[in-house]
Amino acid sequence: MRAPGFGLRTDQLEYVQLILLSVMVGVLGALGNFGFRALIEFFTWLFQRVAWTALGIERGGYYRLLIPLILMSGGVLIMLVDRVFPEDVLGYGFPQFLEQINLGNPRIKRRWMFVKAIGASLSLGCGASVGREGPIAQIGGAIGSAVARLRNLSPDRVKVLVAAGAGAGIATTFNAPIGGLMFAQEIVLLGHTELANLTLLIIATTSAVVASHALQASHSVFVVPQFQLRSYWEMFTYGALGVALGIMGAAFIRFFHFTAGAFRKLQAPGWAKIELGLALVGVIAIGWPDNLSDGYPVINRAMAGEFGLATLAALTVTKFVGSSISLGSGVPGGVFGPIFFIGTMAGGTFQRLSAMLLPHLTGPRGSYSLVGLGAFLAATTHAPLTALFLLFEMTQGYDIALPAMIATVTALVVARAIENESIDTYRLAREGKTLQISQERLALTQIPVGAVMTKEVALVHENSPLVDLLQVAGETSQSTLPVVSSEGELSGLIVTRALLGVLAGGRELGPLINAYDIAEANCAEVLATENLYSASQIMEHEGVDELPVVERRYGGKFLGLVTRQHIVQALNRVTASVGSIAVRDEPIYWGSGYRVTRLEIPPSAAGRTIRELDPRARFSVTVLALRSVKNPDAGFTPITPDGTLNAGDLIITAGRPGDIRKFERELEQPASAASG
């Protein structure tokens, strides 16, 4: 079908529209980056020029003891912004940004364009040891989402434009359109995108760089020296650099999240944690003021070869600790800047040591600092293509290609051998979430049950006699017969196969038996608002091909049936059983019909104990372990019978599916009703 005008089909016109929207996202992303930089420069001038001069800190000596006051004053302003925009300002929010794009609704709040910019610029301006890249990616993502809303695009298209906006922000920061493309494709979209979408991403990142040049000529945050390779024997040295940075990358991931966990465990209000974190970073800055902010000017000096071995090593350690404290305490900002800083200083440190031991196999320190930046980025983010293309575009040459590939790939392999999760997925994995999901599961999670269920269902009422029941069972092709009350609520389910088997066995049911007497009251059910992946998992666990769809759990109104055939048809040409899709942290099912799964403690069960609930005696369910909501980083630990449960705690249970549902229903009841 062709649309009027231009002789283009409807799908071609739609793609032209997407190209124009990508250009718009790129240009607006460049403007957003320009405004973000201006905010950073303003608050840096305010805190580190005006305030420093007023307190005399620039004189040095004992005046440096006042540096923590500068950072803590910035913390006060950050908390004021948080009061106006709660839940949108504090902390390292990039993992949640990735989770929302890949597992949730990709539409980003429009106010993030301003809130993320203000929060991060305050952090960087006062001297917090954070980066600007995570916030600029979220700002760009919010711009992409806002542009997508102008045309009311589908979630898949919104997701691409959000990634395009994030990539545009990175591209303008480093004057690297291909690097921005790789960031959007490899980190934001997790490598899952179509060729047509890659075209949209490169259009957005290139448009952003062109617009940035028009605004501020050719600008990049790094002044990169010319890369020099003295001998191809240096490949061994760069390989050793990769090993060292791979080990350090895995250590940084764990230390970073250990520090964040320590702050979460701290029994103190949020503002106190932020002030404590900023005060500690300020104490570090008394001895090492180069540790303040993202340190890009310091990175440029290191690449120019200005620092000696002791200074490079000290800056590596102070940024390693300072950035973990800053972001772990809840200060807004990103982690890319600290990663760049640590990688640069660690690369320079390695070069100085290598020059002492192997002077003929070691090139200039600026070259090792540059490669160290990329290798450490790959080790911590598990995104080697992003690191490589950033290096290629920053150096404007490919002499760095072979050393960079050797160091980057080696660092990635070593880091993943020690810690399989990246710095952005580490905590999500500890919460039982994975962003690395199959395309089939991703499709199923986007389709609600209500969209494919059938309302043309053969059902029976509670008081239907056996004769009517047998007649309906003989005339329908359904494998189950829903039993409903006079109000239309689901009372139970009859499996026709089991019913016919009872009759064939000669069992006398009696003339007074009705549908309610035969139905399984404690049957599996699914909500219309749940997705098809959840429905497929229930089918697999229960060993059924049909599920009743209800308005709400436990006695809700019956709405229809969803079948395995519906799910297969929705996937369009998927022939394998969708219930067998394997993902991380799924329940384990034993041949005896038992299963091991997780339950979240609802508010109604808060304050109760396992001894009080007595699930083993009352429901034949065993509670194996618990993960406390107050200390999620501790993982699952053996259950204490007299320990008080909290809303949000996760417990590991073992039992038959029906028994676990009974126990789950008991948890949903208020303590007074349960005891009564």
Task: Judge if 570 and 638 occupy the same domain.
Answer: no
More reliable by pLDDT, 565 or 579: 565
Indicate the pLDDT class of residue 580, thresholds 50, 70 and 90: very low
Residue 4 within any structural domain of the chain: no
**What secondary structure does DSSP assign to 429-443, as a single string?**
HHTT--S---HHHHH
Q: In what order do the strands lie in the sheet with 480-484?
A: 460-461, 480-484, 490-495
User: What are φ and ψ of residue 623, in 5° steps?
Assistant: -95, 115
Of 546, 580, 614, at which residue does a domain stop?
580
Task: Judge if 47 and 152 occupy the same domain.
Answer: yes
Mean predicted confidence (pLDDT) in 582-588 = 42
Show the tokens assigned to 64.
């440096």
Residue 273 within any structural domain of the chain: no
Of 382, 416, 435, at which residue does a domain stop?
435
SS3 106: coil
pLDDT value, residue 582:
31
Residue 571 within any structural domain of the chain: yes
More reliable by pLDDT, 433 or 514: 514
Residue 499 pLDDT > 60: yes
Task: Judge if 62 and 80 occupy the same domain.
Answer: yes
Q: What is the CATH number of the domain that holds 207?
A: 1.10.3080.10
More reliable by pLDDT, 503 or 344: 344
Q: What is the CATH number of the domain that holds 638?
A: 3.30.70.1450
Q: How far apart are CA 146 and CA 425, in angstroms?
A: 26
Any idea of the CA torsion for 422, 427, 429, 434, to the nearest 10 degrees? -80
CA atoms within 13 A on the CB side of 435: 23
Mean predicted confidence (pLDDT) in 17-46 = 88
pLDDT value, residue 314:
92
The 8 Å CB, 24+ separation contacts for 110-113 are 110/142, 110/145, 110/146, 110/149, 111/85, 111/142, 112/88, 112/138, 112/139, 112/141, 112/142, 113/32, 113/139, 113/142, 113/143, 113/146
Residue 674 pLDDT > 60: no
Per-residue model confidence as pLDDT tens digits over 392-401? 877 776 778 8
Indicate the pLDDT class of residue 571, thresholds 50, 70 and 90: low
What lies within 8 Å, CB to CB, of 291 at 6+ separation is 129, 281, 284, 285, 315, 318, 319, 322
pLDDT value, residue 220:
64
pLDDT value, residue 511:
59
Q: What angle do CA 176, 177, 181 make, to 5 degrees?
A: 115
Task: Judge if 103 and 209 occupy the same domain.
Answer: yes
Show the tokens assigned to 540.
């697999």
Q: How far apart are CA 497 and CA 480, in angstroms?
A: 8
Q: How far apart are CA 314 and CA 169, in angstroms?
A: 31
pLDDT value, residue 634:
64
Q: What is the CATH number of the domain that holds 516?
A: 3.10.580.10
Task: Judge if 176 and 245 occupy the same domain.
Answer: no
More reliable by pLDDT, 83 or 104: 83
Q: How far lies 326's CA from each of 39, 127, 128, 335, 343, in Å?
A: 20, 10, 6, 10, 18
Residue 127 pLDDT > 70: yes
Per-residue model confidence as pLDDT tens digits over 526-562? 888 787 777 877 777 777 778 888 887 776 788 888 8
Mean predicted confidence (pLDDT) in 505-523 = 64
Q: How far apart are CA 333 and CA 338, in angstroms?
A: 10
Nearest CA among 354, 369, 355 for reference residue 227: 369
pLDDT value, residue 592:
45
User: What are φ and ψ of residue 637, in 5° steps?
Assistant: -130, 160
Indicate the pLDDT class of residue 191, thresholds 50, 70 and 90: low
Domain that holds residue 426: 234-265+289-435
How long a stretch of residues is the chain? 676
Task: Judge if 431 and 447 occupy the same domain.
Answer: no
Q: What angle do CA 53, 317, 239 make, to 5 degrees?
A: 130
Residue 274 within any structural domain of the chain: no
Q: How far apart are CA 490 and CA 486, in angstroms?
A: 10
pLDDT value, residue 586:
47
Per-residue model confidence as pLDDT tens digits over 308-334? 889 999 999 999 999 999 988 889 888
Per-residue model confidence as pLDDT tens digits over 593-639? 566 677 888 888 888 888 888 888 888 787 877 888 877 766 677 77
What lies within 8 Å, CB to CB, of 520 at 6+ separation is 492, 493, 494, 495
Indicate the pLDDT class of residue 247, thresholds 50, 70 and 90: very high
Task: Judge if 565 and 646 occupy the same domain.
Answer: no
CB atoms within 10 A of CB 357: 9
Residue 504 within any structural domain of the chain: yes
Contact 401, 392 (CB under 8 A): yes
Contact 336, 134 (CB under 8 A): yes
Q: How far apart are CA 154 and CA 597, in angstroms?
A: 34
Residue 34 within any structural domain of the chain: yes
Residue 558 within any structural domain of the chain: yes
Task: Judge if 373 and 452 occupy the same domain.
Answer: no
Indicate the pLDDT class of residue 104, thresholds 50, 70 and 90: low
What lies within 8 Å, CB to CB, of 98 at 6+ separation is 187, 188, 190, 424, 425, 428, 435
Task: Judge if 493 and 592 occupy the same domain.
Answer: no
What does the DSSP 8-state code read for residue 51? I
Q: How far apart are CA 140 and CA 137, in angstroms?
A: 5
Per-residue model confidence as pLDDT tens digits over 76-103? 998 898 888 887 778 777 777 777 777 6
pLDDT value, residue 478:
74
Show the tokens assigned to 410.
């080696």
Task: Judge if 245 and 200 occupy the same domain.
Answer: no
What lies within 8 Å, CB to CB, of 84 at 6+ separation is none
Indicate the pLDDT class of residue 187, thresholds 50, 70 and 90: confident
Q: What percent of the chain has pLDDT over 90?
A: 11
What lies within 8 Å, CB to CB, of 42 at 6+ separation is 121, 125
Average pLDDT of the residues of the chain:
79
Number of structural domains found in the chain: 4
Residue 224 within any structural domain of the chain: no
Mean predicted confidence (pLDDT) in 418-438 = 72
Give the distance from CA 411 to its chain's centroid.
23
pLDDT value, residue 497:
66
Alpha helix segments (H runs only) across 129-269:
133-150, 155-174, 177-182, 195-216, 234-265
Residue 11 pLDDT > 60: no
Indicate the pLDDT class of residue 248, thresholds 50, 70 and 90: very high
Q: Return the top range by mean pLDDT from 208-217, 227-236, 411-420.
A: 411-420
Per-residue model confidence as pLDDT tens digits over 136-173? 888 888 888 888 888 777 677 788 888 888 888 888 88
Task: Judge if 313 and 400 occupy the same domain.
Answer: yes
What HEC string does 69-103 produce? Answer: HHHHHHHHHHHHHHHHCCCCCCCCCHHHHHHHHHH
Residue 44 pLDDT > 50: yes
pTM reported for the whole predicted model: 0.67
Of 519, 548, 580, at which residue does a domain stop?
580
Indicate the pLDDT class of residue 577, thresholds 50, 70 and 90: very low
Task: Judge if 420 and 461 occupy the same domain.
Answer: no
Q: Return the top range by mean pLDDT from 209-218, 350-359, 512-521, 594-603.
A: 350-359
Which residue type does 154 have? S
pLDDT value, residue 668:
85
**What secondary structure does DSSP assign to 486-505, as a single string?**
TTSBEEEEEEHHHHHHHHHT
pLDDT value, residue 412:
92
Which residue type does 32 have? G
